[in-house]
Structure 1
Amino acid sequence: MKVNTQSVNFTADSTLIDFIQRRMDKLDMFYDKIIQSDVYLKVENTSNKVNKVFEVKVSVPGDSFIVKKQCKTFEEGADIAIASLERQLKKRKEKLRPHS
């Protein structure tokens, strides 16, 4: 799956982008009809330590899922947000499955 990653107010290093790509690739196991995914990494200028915002938008046929998490690190935000997406995609797949 192609993941479009954009970083706001900083430059993301390749290890972070590779980490996000590997985690997002695992979503294909739960729902194989993902069209596109966009990831936005933002650093807010606050004195608070929890200033990293991880936002992901996943487009599927007929719908899109948006999850936004604010954490201390982007890796932590990615883990929490992608786990939330896994649950949403599983739920959508169950709804679409014909009941026999």
Structure 2
Amino acid sequence: MKVNVHAVNFTVDSKLVGYVQGRLDKLEKYYDRVVCSDVFFKVGNTTDKENKIAEIKISVPGDEFVVKKQCKSFEEAVELAADSMERMLVKRKHKVRARS
């Protein structure tokens, strides 16, 4: 799956890009018709420690899913967002199968 990583106002470490690619590749187990995915990283303007925001947008034929999580680290945010995305993709898969 093609994963596009975008960082707002900073540069992304190659380790983080590799982690994101590996984690999102696992999503293809749950729904194999994923067209592409975009991951946006932002740092919130708060003094709170949980200011790292990861937003994952996945395109599938006929639909688009977006999950946004805010955590202490980008890795944790990606993990939580990917878990939510897994559930959404499984729901989508069951819904498509029920129609056919």
* TM band (smaller chain): over 0.9
> CA offset at residue 21 of structure 1?
0.3
Residue 2 of structure 1 pairs with residue 2 of structure 2: yes
Partners of 1:54 and 1:15 in 2: CA distance: 15
> Larger deviation: 44-53 or 84-93?
44-53
Alpha-carbon separation, structure 1, partners of 2:73 and 2:83: 16
Instruction: Please list every run of 5 or more consecutive structure 2 residues that lacks an aligned counterpart in the other structure.
Output: none
Partners of 1:62 and 1:93 in 2: CA distance: 13
Deviation at 1:45, TM superposition (A): 2.5
Letter of the 2:95 partner, please give it.
K
- 1:5-84 correspondence runs (5 A): 5-84=5-84
The alignment-based identity, stated in percent, is: 56
Matched length: 100
Q: What is the TM-score normalised by the length of structure 2? A: 0.95
Residue equivalent to 1:93: 93
Matches of 1:75 and 1:99, distance apart in 2: 36
**Cα distance in structure 2, aligned partners of 1:31 and 1:98:** 15
- Tell me the CA shift for residue 18 of structure 1: 0.2
Divergent runs of 4+, >2 A = none
Gaps of 5+ in 1: none
**CA deviation map 1:63-96 (0-9, x unaligned):** 0000000000000000100000000000110111
Aligned partner letter, 1:83: D
1:44, 1:98 → 2: CA distance?
Answer: 41
